Amino acid sequence: MTLATPTTTIRKPASAGAVRPRKLNILQRIWKHRHDYLYVLPSIGVMLLVIAYPVYYTVYLSFFNTPPNLALEDKIYVGLDNYWRVITAESVHEATWNTWVWTLWSTFLAFVIGFAAALALNHEFRGRGLLRGTLLVPYVISAVAAAYIWRWIFHSDFGVVGAISVALGITERPINFLDNVDIVMPSLIAVNVWKEFPFAMIMMLAGLQTVPEQLLRAAQVDGANAWQRFWHVTVPHVKGVTLVTVLLLLVTNLNSFTIPYIMTGGGPAGASEIWITHIYQIAFGRIRFGLASAYSVILFVIMMGMGYFYVRALTRGDDRSHG
Amino acid sequence: MSKSKDDGILSRPLGRRQFMAYTAGAGVAAAGLSSTALAQASKTGVDPAKWTAAYIKSIAGTETYDTAAECYKVVPKDYKGRLTYWYFGPTQASPQIEHDLDKQFWDAFKAMYPNIQVTALNLNYNEMIDKLRTSAIGKAAPMVVRLPILAGVEFAAKGQLMEFGPESVGYSKDEFWPGAMKSVTWKGKTYGVPTNNETMALIWNAALFKAAGLDPESPPATWDDLVAYSKAIKDKTGKNGYGMVARVNAGNTPFRFMPQLWAFGGGALDEAEENPTYKSIFVNNDASKKALQASYDMYVRDKSVPTSALTNTQNENQDPFIAGNLGMMIAHPSEYAVMLDRAKKATGEDKKVADEVVANMRYGLIPKGAARRAVVFGGSNAHVFRPDLVDGGLDVNAAKAIIAFATGPEWSTKMAWVSSNPGNLRGFKTKWMKERLETIKFLDVTTSMLPNGIPFPVVPQATEIMNIIVPNMLQNVLTQKMTVAAAADTAAKQIKELMNEL
């Protein structure tokens, strides 16, 4: 008995005379799917109102000088001057460095601690539910409340941590967490990691639960040790969720405002000033809406770039399934 | 024997203009005062010869005013309307009496104008300006706002305020300090009515002074002395000497640092000079650098002030002070009421300490420097926003009603009860002023600082200079990010760019 190959039975070589389906242009495609668009029209309307218009207005304002002694309607057109001023300003360079230190360390530490907690919680043990709930507490606490509490815990004169360190004889004076230009950023990052690691933990725990148990057992039977099972079986399976978690953490940290603003206001001497707090200070502390808008547009472009990778990471599976 | 002018004032009721004429005509008595004090007084209009503690006591309670009659001349009782009003009223850190008076104010206004529907918003002093700027741009401003003295001119320069002065509510400009009137004047036009004006004083803990081997009854005479006293307290007791405040974008910072800068002969611009032009930059002159160096010495060299000074507002000095852990600070007379409140609330061992601190609390003049003794001529003003910027439109009669009520002799005195002085000078002659002087300890000391008052520059850039540039300069020095000279030069450059922007 001879088995016909799929190529001979299913696929036929395309002949020159075959009729191709007519390719529709974008308008025709929209018209074809007009009913679908009708259903999403209200959402698009809301999006245009609350996202597109502010984006447009921010870009528009970024070309104007808006000094504090002028009303906004009297703004002066300055072309790309605001962009040049942002790019060349020393305070922006300082804030940029701080932002990357803040973002990369916060993301790295929150992810590592979150992943470690997820690995621990992925095993059955007594009190697992309670521990999981407890570890989630920082994530569900309001960021504003947390920032105020940590501000007092880290207070340079009468903070709890400083008092304990003096009482135990570890330091002579309370540790200066928030009023020292060298220590303020690590202190803020510690608070941010405390607030964010449960998010990474939940995401990674969800990812770990998709790793097939049989595969891990099979690897064990084949003689793989715990590290090899983790590295060769678990990690490849959670690669997708890792990417999404890291990207979300990166975007969240780049957009951070609450913790640094409430705890230090960007100080002392700008040592904890990051992009968003800096933009806020320029816009509302110094009333330079044009300059702050140019700064925001630059940040928007960077965020869009990251958003592109995020969407790609999210839809990669879909692309494969659609060939 | 001829009667003195004071006797004359006390012997019969005077009209408002007569009262002010007497007040202004006291130049002869000023002859014995220093030229710097007179120069300073020329900026505020507070005649140092006349406005002595004794004089203020002598006129208190000598006249009565009919608030209702004065207000109804402006807006009739049955007027029906609505009012939106923003102000910085009592906070959690305020003494109970301020909360009580705030409630009484609104109850009395409701009784005075039962048909005016009021939406009042009590905002944090340090956040108010930012919120107001945003709301004005978004055409959601309140009809009336009570703003810190520093801030109004920025909104006037932008054309966001209505021309509105004491005459709009039936009063005369002469009823207010000339310095206060300057703060509501932009390009010759008036954009507000002063509600209250005050100066602060130096408060110290006599017990800590004694423990440090200092005279418990004498405050430091000069800023150099203050630095030395602060160090002595730290060295001998381990407690912080002086309650420095150096937070950025917080109104408390310039109120405590500018007196130091001015005393040495410095300034941001030339606001402390006899005839300020606001065109010369003083922030990096030698005197300003000496003042900065004094702060550096206290914070970095001696470590005699709270480490948290860079993030603290004045509120964060209150707890250490009542706990006996802080030697000196610059504050309002209301600080005494705050401490009394806190002592009442304390329990056990804490109560004993708090009661001792209250008993040892002393008020004195802010130290002087090589150039002068100086204090910020502070206060606040009521302003009316342009109709098109007000959420729901402006009800001008409702605005007039509240301003007439709040800036008249009665309520401008009551609303300034423990922290300030009435903006309307007739308030000094009321029975409420007499009651204040009799019941509020140290009020006479803070009031006697009035002739040393220096107003902030009346330029729209003043808020940025005082709340951002000057505190940043201070932080650059205290964190050792920059040298004193570099920080001062950086601030001067920033001020120059700001002033030359348009």
Based on the domain organization, do B152 and B214 belong to the same domain? Answer: no
Report CB contact under 8 Å: A67, B130.
no
C-alpha distances out from residue B335 to B324, B341, B420, Å:
14, 10, 11
Q: Is residue B286 part of a domain?
A: yes
DSSP state of B373: B
Structure tokens belonging to residue A129? 């539910």
Residues B348 and B478 in one domain: yes
In B, what residues contact A, Cβ < 8 A? 130, 133-134, 137, 154, 157-160, 240, 247-249, 303, 306-311, 319-320, 459-461, 463-464, 467-468, 472, 475-476, 478-479, 481, 501-502
Most B CBs within 10 Å, among A53, A90, A157, to test the B interface: A157
What is the Cα–Cα distance from A311 to A305, expressed in whole angstroms?
10
Strand pairing category for B193-198 and B421-422: antiparallel
Tokens describing residue B501: 């922007």
Does B78 map to a domain?
A: yes
Cα gap B255→B380, rounded to integer Å: 13
- pLDDT average, residue stretch A217-229: 90
Shortest alpha-carbon distance between residue B130 and chain A (Å): 6
Q: Within a domain: residue B455?
A: no
Nearest to B495 by CA among B193, B261, B180: B261
Going from N- to C-terminal start, the domains of chain A cover 76-321
Name the burial class of residue B281, with classes exposed (0-12), middle (13-18) and buried (19+) by CB atoms within 10 angstroms of its CB. buried
Residues A279-315: tens digit of each pLDDT: 999 988 888 899 999 999 999 998 888 888 777 777 7
B213 with B89: CB under 8 angstroms?
A: no
**What's the angle, vertex CA B451, arms to CA B446 and CA B454, rounded to 5?**
95
Note the Cα B133 to chain centre separation in Å: 22
The rounded distance, in Å, linking the Cα atoms of B223 and B209 is 16
CA separation (Å) from A191 to A138, A151, A201, A245?
Answer: 10, 10, 16, 19
User: What are the b/e assignments for B74-85, b being 16+ CB within 10 Å?
Assistant: bbeeebebebbb
Please give the pLDDT value at position B172.
93
Report the residue from B303, B475, B502 with minimal CB separation from A267.
B475
Phi then psi dihedrals of residue B304, to 5 deg: -105, 10
Which tokens is B196 given? 């209250």
Rounded Cα distance, B466 and B455, in Å: 12
Residue ranges in chain A assigned as alpha helix (H): 6-9, 26-32, 34-47, 53-61, 81-88, 90-121, 128-140, 143-153, 160-167, 184-208, 213-221, 226-229, 235-237, 239-254, 258-263, 275-280, 289-321
B85 shares its domain with B165: yes
Residue A133 contacts B where some CB pair is shorter than 8 Å: no
CATH of the domain at B165: 3.40.190.10
Say yes or no: B386 and B494 in one domain: no
Cβ neighbours of residue B122 closer than 8 Å, sequence gap 6 or more: B87, B88, B89, B90, B102
Q: Do A68 and B476 touch (CB under 8 A)?
A: no
Are B326 and B398 members of one domain? no
User: Would residue B30 count as lying in a domain?
Assistant: no
Same domain, B418 and B473: no
Question: CA of A72, closest CA in chain B: separation in Å?
Answer: 7
Identify the H or E element spanning B16.
helix B16-24
A19 pLDDT band, cuts 50/70/90, is: low
Q: Are B403 and B410 in contact (CB under 8 A)?
A: no
Nearest CA-CA distance, residue A43 and chain B, Å: 25
Q: What is the pLDDT of residue B3?
A: 35
Q: How many whole angstroms separate alpha carbon A149 and alpha carbon A141?
A: 11
- Residues B390, B475: one domain? no
Q: Do the Cβ atoms of A71 and B134 come within 8 Å? A: no
User: Using an 8 Å Cβ cutoff, are B94 and B41 in contact?
Assistant: no
Three-point CA angle A20, A23, A24, nearest 5° = 150
**Does residue B206 fall inside a structural domain?**
yes
Are residue B334 and residue B206 in the same domain, yes or no?
Answer: yes
Q: What is the CATH number of domain A76-321?
A: 1.10.3720.10
**Domain end: B447, B473, B490, which one?**
B447
Quickly tell me which residue has 């922007």 as its tokens.
B501
Structure tokens at B327: 């030697």
A247 contacts chain B (CB < 8 A): no
In one-letter notation, the amino acid at residue B135 is S
Q: Are residues B316 and B393 in the same domain?
A: no
Interaxial angle between packed helices A81-88 and A90-121, expressed in degrees from 0 to 180 and rounded to the nearest 10? 70
Are B308 and A179 in contact (CB < 8 Å)? yes
CB of B317 closer than 8 Å to CB of B329: yes
CB contact under 8 A, A267 and B248: yes
The identity of residue B138, as a single letter, is G
Question: Is pLDDT larger for residue B337 or for residue A231?
Answer: A231
Tell me the pairing of strands B81-87 and B116-122: parallel
Cα–Cα distance, A274 to A192 (Å, whole number):
13
Average pLDDT over residues A152-169: 90
The domain tally of chain B equals: 2
Question: Is the CB of residue A98 less than 8 Å away from at least one CB of chain B?
Answer: no
Do B266 and B118 belong together in one domain?
A: no
Distance in Å, alpha carbon of A156 to nearest chain B alpha carbon: 5
Q: Is residue B389 part of a domain?
A: yes
- Please indicate whether, in this complex, the C-beta atoms of B460 and A68 are within 8 angstroms of each other: yes
pLDDT score of A319: 52
Partners of B117 in the beta sheet? Answer: B82
Interatomic CA distance for residues B164 and B190, integer angstroms: 6
What distance in Å separates the CA atoms of residue B407 and residue B196, rounded to the nearest whole number?
Answer: 8
User: Are B180 and B237 part of one and the same domain?
Assistant: no
Pair B374, B272: CB distance under 8 Å: yes
- Dist CA B410 CA B432 (whole Å): 7
pLDDT in single tens digits along all 502 residues of chain B:
333 333 322 233 334 443 333 333 333 233 334 555 556 666 666 776 677 778 888 999 999 999 999 999 999 999 999 999 999 888 887 888 889 999 999 999 999 999 999 999 999 877 788 889 889 988 999 999 999 998 899 899 989 999 999 999 999 999 998 889 989 999 999 999 999 988 899 999 999 999 999 999 999 999 999 999 999 999 999 999 999 999 988 888 999 999 999 999 999 999 998 888 999 999 999 999 999 999 999 999 999 999 999 988 888 898 899 989 999 999 987 888 888 888 888 899 889 999 999 999 999 999 999 999 999 998 999 999 999 999 889 999 999 999 999 999 999 999 988 888 899 999 999 999 999 888 887 887 887 788 888 989 989 889 889 999 999 999 999 999 999 999 999 999 999 998 887 5
Q: Are residues B242 and B113 in the same domain?
A: no
Q: Comparing B490 with A12, which gets the higher pLDDT?
A: B490
Would the CB atoms of B306 and A281 count as touching at under 8 Å? no
Q: Is residue B487 part of a domain?
A: yes
- Domain extent for B417: 67-198+377-447
